Amino acid sequence: MSVDYIKQAEERMEKSVAALKRDFATVRAGRATPSLLDKVLVEYYGSMVPISQMANISVPDSRTLMIQPWDKSSLNDIERAIMKSDLGLSPSNDGVVIRLVLPQLTEQRRVELTKVIRKLAEEGRVAVRNVRRDVNDDVKKAEKQSLLPEDESRRLQEKIQDVTDKTVAEIDRLLAQKERELLEV
């Protein structure tokens, strides 16, 4: 039973780290990747749909994204959604495909993006701490219901803290890696 609490904490914390990795992938670091468009939603027949479900996204070179919609009538909708997004990119529509040319990052933009990823990392740390709190509450509740002895409860809470520390260290490592990626010229 005590292993279940630790396993639950590990699984939920891993999900928080995976979500952070997805968020980091949407922050541009000077190279074109299809994941930059993950958060861009297009209004398509009355519902909001991710671009990846409407088009083929390819990377012809390191600074260009090419979007080829499966339905040619959605080309203008995709272009409009990209212009409304916070990516700061100007799409080029030739009637068949949309090209997004990523400009070189300026030093000022790199610093702004560093602040964005630090905020994302802090949100990830908060999510991990919330998981720790929830699992510790479950352990304390089991202790109050006499399902766990007090010493076992304390030992579990220490192990949960160890898992939390390891996960926060992983988040810090990911942050440092993304900062290096952003700041390299």
pLDDT tier for residue 63 given thresholds of 50, 70 and 90: confident
| Collapsed DSSP state (helix, strand, coil) of residue 7 | helix
Listing DSSP states for 8-55 in one string gives HHHHHHHHHHHHHHHHHHTS--SS--GGGGTT-EEEETTEEEEGGGTE
pLDDT tier for residue 136 given thresholds of 50, 70 and 90: very high
Quote the pLDDT of residue 2: 66
Give the whole-angstrom CA distance, residue 24 versus residue 174.
9
Give tens-digit pLDDT for 84-129: 877 777 888 888 888 888 877 778 878 888 888 899 899 999 999 9
> Average pLDDT for residues 74-87, to the nearest whole number?
84
Quote the pLDDT of residue 22: 86
Give tens-digit pLDDT for 10-26: 999 999 999 998 888 77
Phi then psi for residue 26, to 5 deg, are -85, -5
Give tens-digit pLDDT for 1-58: 567 889 999 999 999 999 998 888 777 666 777 877 878 888 888 888 888 888 888 8
- Specify the CATH number of the domain 34-101: 3.30.1360.40
> Average pLDDT for residues 64-87, to the nearest whole number?
85
**Domain 5-28+106-184, what architecture?**
Orthogonal Bundle (1.10)
> Average pLDDT for residues 60-87, to the nearest whole number?
85
8, two tokens: 């639950």
The overall pTM is greater than 0.85:
no
H or E stretch at 66: strand 64-69
Size of the chain, expressed as the number of residues it contains: 185
Quote the pLDDT of residue 26: 75
| Report for 44-58, 74-88, 160-174: range of highest mean pLDDT | 160-174
Q: Where are the domains positioned within the chain?
A: 5-28+106-184, 34-101
Residue that has been written with the tokens 């952070």 in this structure: 20
